[in-house]
A and B are shown apart, each in its own frame.
Chain A
Amino acid sequence: MDQDNDRSKSFTRRAFIIGAGQGLILGILGARLAWLQVAQGARYKTLAEENRINVKMVAPLRGEIVDRFGVPFAVNNENYRVLVVPEQTDDLEGALIRLSKIIDLEKENIEQILKIAKKSAAFLPLEVRDSLSWEEVSKIEVNITDLPGIGTDVGKIRHYPFKEATAHIVGYVAAPSEADVGEDPVLTLPGFRIGKTGVEKVYDRKLRGNAGRAEMEVNVVGREVRTLKQEQSTSGKRITLTIDAELQLFTQQRLSLTKSASAVIMDVKDGAIYALNSFPSFDPNLFTRGVGAQQWEELLNNPAFPLTNKSIAGQYPPGSTFKMVTALAALKENLISAHTSFDCPGHYDYGKDRFHCWKRGGHGSVNLVKAMSESCDTYFYKIATDLGVDKIAKMAKELGLGERLEFELSEEKPGLMPDKDWKRGRFGQSWQPGETIVTSIGQGYILTTPLQLATMTCRLVNGGYAVKPWITAYEGTHQKEHVKWPKIGLSATHLNLVKRGMDQAVNHKKGTAFGSRIEDKDFAMGGKTGTAQVKRITRQERAMGIKNEDLPWHFRHHALFVGYAPVHDPRYVCAVIVEHGGGGSSAAAPIAKDLLLQTQERNPGAAPIKEPGPDADGQLILPVNHAYLSEQ
């Protein structure tokens, strides 16, 4: 009995120990629960919501791009797609094969869809094909009862009605690259496109608009259980350009008579661009759907660079169109006056080197106006060395050459205006006087873009105001403000002298562009021809009588012309470059004549730019429900 008692006591003691241990464990479990549910509750609540809620973005509608009169350059067309929901088909492959009997559907496409379907959830709709024609859509709709799980919907696709004519200005949209993604979650939406070049690129953010949001409750496999919240998307802003669509189209057609050319038409006073063309061009509509490898290769390998906007990214020696710069620099330094005359024997010897005038026999006695009108090189050779390259470069930059003009399109190239410092920095060599002589007639290292040449011409004929080119008039309803252009500080007398030279270059019967003059006095133009050497004719070739036009295309001279009109009260400026077109007077001036005449007849600057309606700032867009998808 004692022993029993003893054991009972021992049992009680040990039972107490175990009981206490159990109580302790229960306490720990309770504490752990409180820790998870109270202390960590907020964190886990967030995680549970993230689990449960799938935020879907609703793609915004991209803003339109229109010209100064509201003519659309970039719009959103309807894009009919055919989709399939694998779980709603009796047999996915069979359904697709039946579909391929109704619409165009490659065998490879079917295989690809089957491959994707294996990886994705069966309730997610898969795109079978897009860009369906109306006929195809109606064929599907008629047969819809025989095609369970198949349906059509309509999305949007960017469309550029002017195709090649506005491709370089407007640019194009394409699927974002990996580098783009991450910047905005909307970019991850399937089929979302962003601006890759031109206005589409520069104003991408504003054109893009704001994505709507739909919060869907989803289960663990991602099937949507119900919609919790829906927020509308806002379409992007409409961008109104200063371009005149008709003029742009006319210019493009005019340039298409050459092999490769570009042109800029600009407002003398405010710097607005009316036309900005580059030929050859490309159809930007190819890019919105993804350009084929072969087409891409062709565009890349074309020697005339259709993808490059040569009006802002083509860099050429300005040739004789640069002579206004040299003249103004010399006038400013009082090296010459209106009455200074030199004799032109057809060449100029400096040290051991002989520099040729384009006219073999020479021009005889030339003053400044005649030197410009007849484009005498010798006149400028003679003042070049006394002037020095740095003075020329300074004047060139003041007139807008050799530096970026902060033009809106990101493709703009700076060109190059060499001076002594530049050469030392670039080659570690000192500047040679002979190089100044070459520079004075716009040859040598110097490079300019057509846009810069047009800007220079504006500044020459508008009384010396430092206008800059611009292309966007409105972002939505917001009008872009432009500062009043400052004066460069050029003497009116000097400018008038240069203007007379440009007037006579076209309207004097000995002028280099006399053949391209506009005879109607009200529309008469002034200007300057230029011929930029691409390859120097060697002494040997000269001796053999080889002329420039005998060389292969890509060695021939570039033909340039800068012009303004009307002469009595300049309003429009035009710069034209015909790549490897030969002489400026024969190849470029006739184009400029046609363009300036057309510009003046249309007179796009006469009326203010059409003010966009309030809808230009973007509108709320209701999400579209796809009837066949809501069956579930």
Chain B
Amino acid sequence: MSEGIKLQNEESLIYKITHVNWGFLALTVIMACIGIAALYSAGGGNMDPWASRQLSRFGVGLIALFIVALVDIRWWYRLAYPAYFIGLILLIIVEVMGQVGMGAQRWINLGFMQLQPSELMKIAVIIALAKYFHAATKEDMASFRFLVPAAVLILAPVALVLLQPDLGTSLMIVMGGGAMVFLAGAPILYFAIAGGLAAAAAPIGWFLMHDYQKQRVLTFLNPESDPLGSGYHIIQSKIALGSGGIEGKGFLNGTQSHLNFLPEKQTDFIFTLWAEEWGLLGGLFMLLVAGLILYCGIQIALKCRHAFGRLLAFGLTINYSLYVFINIAMVMGLIPVVGAPLPLVSYGGTSMLAILVSFGLIQSCNIHRDAKLPRM
């Protein structure tokens, strides 16, 4: 009886809305506002061409976030594998389109936006793995045979993305998936073995890499070797960041950005624009907001009473953190240029939508932390 009442309460809209993690949501909005302000600056002090469109996309994404958050998490549990397969099929479609002669493409044109299946796939892999490990026992986790399907779940999309070829995204899927397997409790030994195999395979990987990918790695190792070619982006980005100093050059006053020395300032190098104009203080503020988002995500995961929610919330938090780390490390010259956006801030529809949907899922975990999920 009492359980029935509770269940009803949990399914009521008012209950759900009161259980939205408002702090997490506020951080999401703050990060998006930083992005819109930066895009306003990138447009030379104009809402056009980027800030206004980013704003409307954020509005649409926010609605999607709420819908995803309010849908009962059991639905997401049920949809985990279908979503995964849809993602896989979309990846194959993109691949086939590329083969058929439309050139190397990573997106499907939906008319109102260009959908990058690989962005959605990052989330789908995490949902699928969360479901796969949801009911796993300690013995399962220790069993090699149990882990093989999980590895396939990760590596199938990785292989497709590598064919695109998109080294950055495939590495992100591997890292996100690997973290899920780790969280689910797989023995450390397996990671050591996988790490060893990866190290051994690295030379083969180098051999298989496209020239431009090799060039990126080489350029990363010594950007000054090619100051007008591939190294140009990183050198100009570091100049922009460094010249910002502690207090920055002031909003709309970034010389590197506004005189176009900074490439891709509205997408991959948006952090650079921000930190050039707002200095170390602005840069650290953005890192702080990102850190708080991660903190909220981890807290939501830890408070979740079912394994699916824990793994899902944590996995999606890791996914977000990978975006942030890779993008910021890249623009600061810590890792090679891989072409990864800074979610919520960079101009771009898919990554914004993907991250807001994933934040909706995290919110769903928060709302439905006490939901009962079947054990298989």
A interface residues, Cβ below 8 angstroms from B:
3-4, 6-8, 10-12, 14-15, 18-19, 22-23, 25-26, 28-30, 32-34, 36-38, 40-41, 43-45, 47-49, 51-52, 217-221, 225
Contacts and interface: CB of A to CB of B under 8 A. Distances in A.
A11 B301 CA distance: 10
B245 A45 contact: yes
Contacts, number: 134
Interface stretch (B76-84, B117-125, B147-155, B290-298): B290-298
B287 A51 contact: no
B284 A33 contact: yes
B280 A33 contact: yes
Interface of B: 136-138, 179, 182-185, 236, 238-246, 255-256, 259-261, 275, 279-280, 283-284, 287, 290-291, 294-295, 298, 301-302, 307, 310-311, 314, 318, 321, 325, 328-329, 332, 334
Contacts of A49: 243
Given A15-B301, A41-B245, A51-B259, 17 more contacts: A7-B138, A7-B307, A11-B183, A15-B298, A18-B182, A19-B298, A25-B325, A33-B283, A37-B280, A37-B283, A41-B244, A44-B241, A47-B243, A48-B243, A51-B255, A219-B261, A221-B260
Given A15-B183, A29-B328, A32-B332, A37 B242 contact: yes
B287 A29 contact: yes
Contact of A33 (B185, B241, B261, B310): B241
Given A11-B310, A48-B243, A18 B261 contact: no
A1 to B, nearest CB: 12
B138 A3 contact: yes
Contact of B280 (A22, A34, A43): A34
A43 B235 CA distance: 12
A15 B184 CA distance: 10
Nearest to A52: B255
Q: Is the interface of A mostly helix, strand, loop or mixed?
A: helix
A45 B291 CA distance: 29
A196 to B, nearest CB: 36
A225 B321 CA distance: 39
B215 to A, nearest CB: 21
B242 A43 contact: yes
B55 to A, nearest CB: 27
A14 B246 CA distance: 36
A44 B283 CA distance: 16
A48 B291 contact: no
B279 A217 contact: no
Given A14-B183, A18-B314, A22-B321, A52 B241 contact: no
A217 B256 CA distance: 11
A23 B298 CA distance: 12
Contact of B246 (A6, A29, A30, A38): A38
Given A3-B137, A44-B243, A45-B245, A22 B294 contact: yes
B38 to A, nearest CB: 16
Contacts of B332: 29, 32-33, 36
A49 B261 CA distance: 11
A33 to B, nearest CB: 5
Contacts of B260: 219-221
A12 B325 CA distance: 23
B275 A44 contact: no
Contacts of B275: 33, 37
A19 B239 CA distance: 31
A45 B259 contact: no
A6 B138 contact: yes
Contacts of A8: 310
A47 B236 CA distance: 9
Nearest to B247: A37
A23 B279 contact: no
Nearest to A33: B283
B186 to A, nearest CB: 10
B335 to A, nearest CB: 11
Contacts of B329: 29, 32
Contact of A12 (B245, B302, B307): B302
Contacts of A51: 236, 239, 255-256, 259, 261
Q: Nearest 4 A-B pairs (CB), nearest first? A: A44-B242, A48-B243, A219-B259, A220-B260
B310 A41 contact: no
Contacts of A33: 241, 275, 280, 283-284, 287, 332
14 contacts: A10-B185, A11-B184, A11-B185, A18-B318, A19-B294, A26-B294, A30-B287, A33-B280, A37-B244, A37-B245, A44-B239, A44-B243, A48-B255, A219-B261
A626 to B, nearest CB: 23
B279 A47 contact: no
B279 A37 contact: yes
B307 A38 contact: no
A357 B307 CA distance: 129
A580 to B, nearest CB: 62
Contact of B291 (A15, A26, A38, A221): A26
Contact of A30 (B244, B284, B307): B284
A34 B280 CA distance: 6
Contacts of B137: 3, 7
Contacts of B287: 26, 29-30, 33
A26 B334 CA distance: 13
Contacts of B184: 11
Contacts of A40: 242
A221 B183 CA distance: 50
Contacts of A11: 183-185, 307, 310-311
Contact of A225 (B240, B259, B298, B310): B259
Contact of A45 (B136, B236, B243): B243
Interface centre among B242, B259, B283, B287 (most CB of A within 10 A): B242
Contacts of A4: 307
Contacts of A41: 242-246
A108 to B, nearest CB: 33
Contacts of A220: 259-261
A3 B185 CA distance: 12
B291 to A, nearest CB: 5
Given A18-B314, A29-B328, A225-B259, A7 B241 contact: no
Interface centre among A3, A38, A41, A219 (most CB of B within 10 A): A41
Contacts of B284: 30, 33-34
A30 B288 CA distance: 9
